[in-house]
Amino acid sequence: MENLDSLKNEILSKINASTDLKVLDDIRVSVLGKKGQITEMMKGLGALPLEEKIALGKGLNILKSEVENAIEAQKIILEDKALNEKLTTETIDVTLPIRPETQGRIHPVSKIYEEVVAIFGEMGFDVANGPDIEDQFHNFNALNMPGNHPARQMQDTFYLNNDPTKPFDMDTAYVIRTHTSGMQIRTMEKQQPPIRIIAPGRTYRSDYDATHTPMFHQVEGLVIDKNITMAHLKGCLYDFMKAFFELDEIPVRYRPSYFPFTEPSAEMDIGCLKTKTELKIGAGTDWLEVLGCGMVHPNVLKAGGINPDEYQGFAFGLGIDRLAMLKYGIPDLRTFFESDVRWLKHYGFTPLDLSSMTGGLSNNGGLAR
């Protein structure tokens, strides 16, 4: 039995001294393998007398179990060591930049459209649609601008020959809409009051300089019912401006003006502070013209098939591009239409920047990447 103790010590010390899994396995084979030391000793038991056989057999079984446990424990240690060695060779420079990704952008015109829809949607407006190429009835005549009305010159108009088989005739030609008011007429033709619509869209005038582009974007509004007054016009536009510029209060002023399709007509200014470097909306002593509006002219109601003795209401029109410039500090209208990827990236909005009155109008898409 003393022999067994020394054998045990010898084997365990070998196991503990092993430094890799291969050596450990060799030890296992040399001790517990088919021809291993312990295996051989166990084979020799049969030749011993019974009493000795029992005693030595028990001792050998204990020894075998202890050796197995020691090998298993050493194996875990050596495996850990091997893994750690392997991992140290796998180091990657995690300061490398990420793989290239492009986050897209929504154009400011679309963003403002969505903000405007969100605000007027809350006030119960629907959104109208209409054609970009219009007949003169819907673009002019129905809006109290008969053929020779001087106001037609206020809007430098693009024309299209309505019948290419004949020479161009200015009186019957189509026009590329100079405002989205045609949609107002088309809405009235289809629907009796109460009417609350906004008519957003592209508009076109033959004008191209630092502050004008031949195409721009407008949103017009039309509210018709029995008791709508100019006080509602002022309230509606004030509510809109406050919501749009995300201010609790905003100074506004109205000036009498003239549009053939409204009477009385007015232009609305909002208070601002102009300095050499910035424009701050909602504060200061300067005024900024933002829109034209007025009470719908009875001739316009008549042209739309609505009885002006029964119904009345207001209309307004504002520039989407201009709102974008004012709210987001975009300096030059012409750049809106230049598709310069640097501009689109800088002034565009992230794809998740959706607008709602309850979820917020702006800054909803996280930081631009």
Return the residues of window 216-235 that contact other proteins according to CB under 8 A: 223, 227-232, 234-235
Return the residues of window 240-279 that contact other proteins according to CB under 8 A: 253-258, 260, 263-267
The nearest distance, CB 262 to other proteins, in angstroms, is: 9
Does the protein bind other proteins through residue 95 (CB under 8 A)? Answer: no
In DSSP terms, which residues pair with 151 in a beta bridge?
none
Choice from 25, 26, 68, 135 touching other proteins (CB under 8 A): 135
How far apart, in whole angstroms, are the C-alpha atoms of residue 165 and residue 171?
Answer: 16
The nearest distance, CB 239 to other proteins, in angstroms, is: 6
Does the protein bind other proteins through residue 368 (CB under 8 A)? Answer: no
- What's the token pair of residue 287? 């005024």
> Dihedral sign, CA of 277, 281, 287, 292?
positive
Choose one: 6-14, 26-34, 64-72, 109-117; the region binding other proteins (CB under 8 A): 109-117
3-state secondary structure of 178: coil
Choice from 30, 39, 162, 364 touching other proteins (CB under 8 A): 162
Q: Which is nearer to other proteins, 18 or 144 (CB)?
A: 144
Q: Which is nearer to other proteins, 64 or 232 (CB)?
A: 232
Is 261 within 8 Å of 181 (Cβ atoms)?
yes
3-state secondary structure of 88: helix
Task: Give 109-144 as a DSSP string.
Answer: HHHHHHHHHHHHHHTT-EE----SEE-HHHHTGGGT
How far apart, in whole angstroms, are the C-alpha atoms of residue 353 and residue 86?
Answer: 46
Choice from 7, 15, 60, 109 touching other proteins (CB under 8 A): 109
Choose one: 15-23, 61-69, 272-280, 345-353; the region binding other proteins (CB under 8 A): 345-353
The nearest distance, CB 285 to other proteins, in angstroms, is: 13
Does the protein bind other proteins through residue 309 (CB under 8 A)? Answer: no
The nearest distance, CB 47 to other proteins, in angstroms, is: 53
Choice from 31, 199, 236, 291 touching other proteins (CB under 8 A): 236
Choice from 239, 284, 288, 330 touching other proteins (CB under 8 A): 239
**Closest by CA position to 241, among listed 228, 229, 252, 254:** 252
Is 31 within 8 Å of 67 (Cβ atoms)?
yes
**Closest by CA position to 170, among listed 179, 161, 178, 183:** 161
